[in-house]
Each structure stands twice: as structure tokens, then as C-alpha cells.
Amino acid sequence: MNNLIDGRRIAADIHSETAGRVAALLRRGVQPGLVFLRVGEDPASQVYVGMKEKKALELGIGSRTFVLPESTSQDDLLARIARLNADPACHGILVQAPLPRHIAAAVIYSAVSPEKDVDGFHPVNVGRLLLGDGGGFLPCTPAGVHELLVRTGVRLPGAEVVVLGRGNIVGKPMASILVQKSPTANCTVTLCHSATRDIAAHCRRADVIIAAMGVPEFLKADMVRDGAVVIDVGVNRVPDATRRTGTRLVGDVAFAEVQPKCRWITPNPGGVGPMTIAMLLANTVTAAERGS
């Protein structure tokens, strides 16, 4: 079926736009600078940071990565962030999750200057989002989902949207983006979670479903009405004896059974994932434009 939302193609379009903005800054003698802070040797974090750094360099964004030992104290990490906050060559700071258990993530994210918080996690930027103040940074994954919907031509004003999951990284900010009074939002949003009664009934009335619960293949065909738009944000590892690793990755949507009912649906992989990097780098360039 030709109803797939091609996240890789849309991300490439955004990267092209970002590269043009970088070129304009370089002509003025400003190179956008992005710094990654990674604590410990989590394998997934190594891969994620590597992908982000590679794409940043392709677009002409100056990229630096600091890898700190797992034993790094919270105070030492805060001191490193303070130095980057004061560094004029650094426009964006990304502290890669997960952090070691002895470090409070909320404290760390709050220490990054709001003007350099290209992940959109600082309380000031969260507040700006809730208030509809365009002067902050949007969290990259929900911002990427929004771009997928807008650039695919999904009509959002007045749409019934169900967001599955109330996490701080995707669910809550996603609902906040879509409820804003805007020509590219203005939705009626239902935010469902583990205590929601009869989630299926909420989903069946939705024009758009955004699945971000972290539950493998949670959204089934009988929960989706014909012609709905479904966005799968989930990344879950499940057992699979046929794979060399003994596992495989699946989303929060039972894709094979849900796809035939959809007007549009994201594949997984190839849907939301590429958009997160695209929005991160676009945010970094915005930070450089504001600071130059």
C-alpha cells in the first residue's frame, strides 16, 4: 500500500533547508557549534551520538563530543556544562541519555542554558511550549512528528488526536504542540496512559493516533478506525529466536495489521527516527542565528 510516511525523505528535505541556513551563517563568519556530552559507555548512546555527530558535520555544523567516565560526579558534569554555557563557540548542548543513576537528569537538564538547550528539556523551554511562546526550543521527537504530519498534508485544525503515553520526552510535549492555537495545530487532544479506562474507545474515534507508550505492538487493528493517520514513536526490543541476536526491534504499533486501515502510517524504522536528528540540527542552527 502506498500510505507510508517517508520519514527519511522528509528529514532529508529539512537537512537541505538546514544546510542552506548554515551556509548563510558561514558567509557571516558564524559556524554553528553543537556539543555532545556522553557519560559512560552505553552502547546505544554511542551509536546515537555517532549518528548525530556525522550528520552535523555533513551540514557544516561544528561538532564536539566529550565522553566522561561512568564515575563522573554530578558536580563535575555541572561544572562542564557551566563552561559550555559560557563558550561563545558552543550554540547547542546535548546531554545524551541515559545518565548514570547517581546523576539526577532533571538537575542536569535544568543546568543547560535555555538558549543552548537544543533538546528542549529545560523548564524554561517547556514553559514556553505550554504558553505557545515561539521563542523556545521544541523537544526534537515531538517536533519531528509534527513536521511529519504537516509536510504529509494531514489536516490538523479541529482533528481528534490521541497521544498514547504521557512521558516528558514525547507524550506531554506532543500534546502541547498539537493543542496550540495555530494553523498547523489547533487539535482536540486526548492524552492516554496506563490508567486510562478503555483506551481502545478513545483510539477508535481518533483522526490521528501517536503511539509513544513503550509497549511492543500495543496498537492493534481493532483500535483504529478506517482512514486514520498513525504515527509510531516506539522502539522496543522483543525476543526473536530466528535472529542472530535473539531479538528484534518493533514499534508500539502492530504494523502489519494496522497499515491496511490507515490513510497514512509511519514505518518503523524509517518514520520518526530520522526526524529527531533533523530537528536537533535545525534547533542548533536556530540557536546560532539567535546568538549571532
Residue spans in the chain of domains classed CATH 3.40.50.720: 140-274
CATH top-level class of 140-274 = alpha beta
Q: Is the pLDDT of residue 186 over 90?
A: yes
For 243, which DSSP code?
S
Mean pLDDT of the chain: 96
pLDDT band of residue 237 (cuts 50, 70, 90) is confident
* pLDDT per residue as tens digits for the range 246-259: 888 899 999 999 99
* Closest among 267, 262, 192 to 220, alpha carbons compared: 262
pLDDT in tens, 77-87: 999 999 999 99
pLDDT at position 37 is 96
Cα–Cα dist 5/252, whole Å: 16
Within 8 A by CB and 6+ apart from 112, the residues are: 81, 85, 93, 95, 119, 121, 122
Which positions ≥6 away from 220 have C-beta within 8 Å?
Answer: 254, 257, 258
CATH architecture of 31-116: 3-Layer(aba) Sandwich (3.40)
Look up the pTM and report it.
0.95
Question: Which residues does 198 contact at the CB level (< 8 Å), separation at least 6?
Answer: none
3-state secondary structure of 269: coil
| Mean pLDDT across 85-90 | 97
**Residue 123 scores a pLDDT above 80:** yes
pLDDT in tens, 272-285: 999 999 999 999 99
Cα–Cα distance for residue pair 119/260, rounded to 1 Å: 34
> For the purposes of burial, counting CB atoms within 10 Å of the CB of 109, is it exposed (0-12), middle (13-18) or buried (19 or more)?
buried
Residue intervals in the chain for CATH 3.40.50.10860:
31-116
Question: Could you list the active site residues?
Answer: 52, 96, 119
Look at phi and psi of residue 40 and say left if phi exceeds 0, alpha if psi is from -120 to 50, else beta: left
